[in-house]
């Protein structure tokens, strides 16, 4: 479940086992759009890119990431398992926008963090084996563009530098800690 930042009356939700995504209109208390997905949708996130003021949705569906325009009924981009380093089931997505580009990070059962650049829909970076178990959540740092936090099963938290600029190489496991040890009870 996620709220559209450009239109606070719009909420999107995934229905994994029904293979559907619903867009709800809060003001009219109704479903405004209902999309059928190819695979099982697990995570959803609203975002915008610098070239447009439209709200887009990044949806992890099985082993692919699909990008939808919230005003239409068809995906505008599908990044399939052939474009991903491995074809594991994706369970998490995070978005980071800056003045130049929008970056989308995905992770899942294969323990690979993959970051896409929205300008050309290419893989900006990929870090494999970042967690001990499968990735359950991903979050970009709000302070630094090149830092990403990754959560795994068993309460594991990893902080990594993913190399936001072409000169930087990704650094794995800059910080690795158990969420209970550092005082976090519930992780996404």
The 10s digit of each residue's pLDDT in 101-154 is 889 999 988 888 888 888 888 888 888 888 888 888 899 988 887 888 888 877
pLDDT at 175 over 80: no
More confident of the two residues 123 and 163:
123
Q: Place 48 in a pLDDT band, splitting at 50, 70 and 90.
A: confident
Q: By the 8 A CB rule, do 76 and 65 touch?
A: no
Tell me: pLDDT of 88 over 50. yes
**83 to 1, 79, 122: CA distances (angstroms):** 27, 6, 8
Confidence (pLDDT) at 59: 92
Q: d(Cα 105, Cα 31) in Å, to the nearest integer?
A: 28
On whether the CB atoms of residues 117 and 67 are closer than 8 A, the answer is: no
Region 155-162 average pLDDT: 82
In angstroms, the CA 70 to CA 13 distance is 12
Task: Give the predicted TM-score (pTM) of the model.
Answer: 0.83
Identify the H or E element spanning 65: strand 64-69
Which pLDDT score is estimated for 186?
47
What number of CA atoms fall less than 13 Å from residue 113's CA on the CB side? 33
Q: Could you identify the residue written with the tokens 């978005």?
A: 95
Q: Which of 13, 70, 61 is nearest to 41 (CA)?
A: 61
Please tell me the number of Cα atoms within 13 Å of 86 on its side-chain side.
16
Residue 81 in this model has a pLDDT that exceeds 50: yes
What's the confidence (pLDDT) of residue 93?
92
Higher pLDDT, 176 or 80: 80
């Amino acid at each position: 479940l996620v709220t559209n930042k450009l239109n606070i009356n719009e909420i999107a939700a995934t229905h994994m086992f029904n293979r559907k995504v619903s867009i709800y209109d809060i003001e009219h208390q109704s479903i405004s759009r209902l999309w059928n997905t190819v695979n099982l949708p697990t995570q959803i996130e609203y975002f915008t890119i610098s070239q447009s003021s439209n709200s887009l949705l990044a949806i992890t569906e099985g082993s692919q990431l699909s990008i939808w325009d919230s005003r239409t009924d068809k995906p505008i981009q599908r990044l399939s398992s052939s474009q991903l380093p491995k074809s594991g089931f994706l369970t998490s997505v995070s978005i980071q926008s800056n003045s130049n580009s929008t970056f989308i990070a995905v992770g899942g059962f294969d323990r690979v963090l993959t970051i896409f650049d929205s300008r050309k829909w290419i893989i900006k970076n990929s870090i494999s084996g970042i967690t001990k178990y499968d990735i359950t959540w991903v979050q970009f740092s709000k302070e630094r563009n090149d830092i990403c936090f990754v959560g795994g099963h068993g309460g594991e938290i990893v902080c990594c530098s993913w190399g936001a600029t072409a000169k930087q190489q990704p650094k794995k496991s800059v910080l690795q800690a158990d969420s209970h040890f550092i005082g976090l009870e519930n992780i996404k």
